[in-house]
């Protein structure tokens, strides 16, 4: 028995022959017009499926998309404005289709504080990240919301030379080491 036979035997334990055959991808070169027809049929099926989604399916899909985009962002180096806490919070509220006032009530936040968060005039606290995690049904973890803020803070620490110089003037008895 070769390795493919072994794999097939294992698959048969869990799936029917029809399921295995249906999952097999046949490779081959298609004529240009055949490829075009297949792609067009796929687009129509995809459009139909999107139109038939329930609101819950749409919301779950959008939140999963948001979560995956955040995760990909965390793996990249550097800060991107599109992934600031304020921009992602605004995107979240937009996905929900809620007004700012309604959302503020949902997460027990004063509307003025929400406005300051959305306009980058204030940073969130850890408690808000826990509320956001709960509000989205634990789809987007609190740590993701916190990491959005952390990336911006890291960028500020790395690039704010003016503040660095200002704070340097406040230090007395600086340690000095010879190389």
pLDDT tens track for 58-110? 999 999 999 999 999 999 999 999 999 999 999 999 999 999 999 999 999 99
CA–CA dist 167, 163 (Å, integer)? 6
22 and 106 housed in the same domain: no
Alpha-carbon distances of 119 from 71, 89, 157, rounded to whole Å: 23, 11, 20
CA–CA dist 117, 122 (Å, integer)? 5
Mean of per-residue pLDDT scores for the chain:
91
In a domain, 174, yes or no: no
DSSP state of 24: P
Kindly tell me if the per-residue pLDDT of 128 is higher than 90: yes
Kindly tell me if the per-residue pLDDT of 25 is higher than 80: no
Q: Note down the domain range covering 106.
A: 55-159
Name the residue with higher pLDDT: 83 or 48. Answer: 83
CA–CA dist 115, 120 (Å, integer)? 9
- Predicted confidence at residue 28, as pLDDT, reads 63
Report how many domains make up the chain: 2
How many degrees, rounded to 5, is the angle at CA 152 between CA 116 and CA 154?
A: 140
Of the listed ranges 4-8, 56-60, 64-68, 144-148, the one predicted with least confidence: 4-8
In a domain, 169, yes or no: no
């Amino acid at each position: 028995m070769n390795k493919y036979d072994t794999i097939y035997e294992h698959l048969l334990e869990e799936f029917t022959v029809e399921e295995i055959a249906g999952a097999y991808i046949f490779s081959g070169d298609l004529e240009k017009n055949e490829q075009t027809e297949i792609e067009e049929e796929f687009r129509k099926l995809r459009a139909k499926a999107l139109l038939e989604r329930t609101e819950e399916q749409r919301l779950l899909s959008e939140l999963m998309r948001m979560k995956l985009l955040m995760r990909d962002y965390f793996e990249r180096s550097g800060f991107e404005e599109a992934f600031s806490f304020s921009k992602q919070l605004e995107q979240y509220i937009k996905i929900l289709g809620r007004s700012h006032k309604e959302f503020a009530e949902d997460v027990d936040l004063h509307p003025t504080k929400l406005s300051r968060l959305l306009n980058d005039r204030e940073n969130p606290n850890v408690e808000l990240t826990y509320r956001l995690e709960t509000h989205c049904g634990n789809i987007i973890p609190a740590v993701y919301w916190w990491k959005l803020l952390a990336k911006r803070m890291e960028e500020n620490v790395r690039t704010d030379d003016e503040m660095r110089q200002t704070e340097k003037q406040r230090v007395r008895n600086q340690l000095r080491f010879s190389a």
